[in-house]
């Protein structure tokens, strides 16, 4: 029985590795990777704890665990890619006086970061 289980697991792993499976959709993995790099580069982790980003263990803003599954962003915007980009690019326009600064991100950079946050289920 143990040999059969090992064979089945090995065949399954071989099959899956042969597939061109991209859980985020075509091209999204690369975009999410750019987003992760940007998150580290611009210092989002100085305020947020962000899974998968080394040194991102800030305590000022909320932890971003399970961001893809949350209903709201900042308690006021429905969680959608468009709203996430809006929040990332100009948080003060959404909730004036909140602690998140305008980071000066372009639309493309906000889209990349949004793609990464969408991986945090």
Average pLDDT, the chain: 85
Global pTM reads 0.76
pLDDT digits (tens, 9 = 90+) for 52-65: 999 999 999 999 99
Describe the crossing of helices 81-89 and 107-117 by its angle, rounded to 10 degrees: 120
CATH number for domain 27-117, candidates 1.10.510.10, 2.60.40.420, 3.40.190.10, 3.20.20.70: 2.60.40.420
Residues 37 and 15: their CA atoms lie apart, in Å, by: 30
Per-residue CA distances from 62 to 30, 42, 70 (Å):
26, 17, 12
């Amino acid at each position: 029985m143990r040999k059969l289980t090992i064979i089945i697991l090995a065949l399954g792993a071989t099959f899956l590795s042969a597939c061109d499976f991209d859980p985020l959709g075509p091209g999204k993995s690369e975009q999410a990777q750019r987003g992760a790099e940007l998150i580290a580069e611009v210092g989002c982790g100085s305020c947020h704890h962000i899974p998968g980003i080394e040194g991102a263990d800030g305590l000022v803003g909320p932890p971003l665990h399970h961001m893809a599954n949350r209903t709201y962003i900042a308690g006021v915007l429905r969680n959608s890619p468009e709203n996430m980009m809006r929040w990332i690019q100009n948080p003060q326009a959404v909730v004036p006086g909140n602690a998140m600064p305008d980071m000066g991100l372009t639309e493309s950079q906000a889209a990349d970061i949004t793609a990464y946050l969408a991986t945090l289920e």
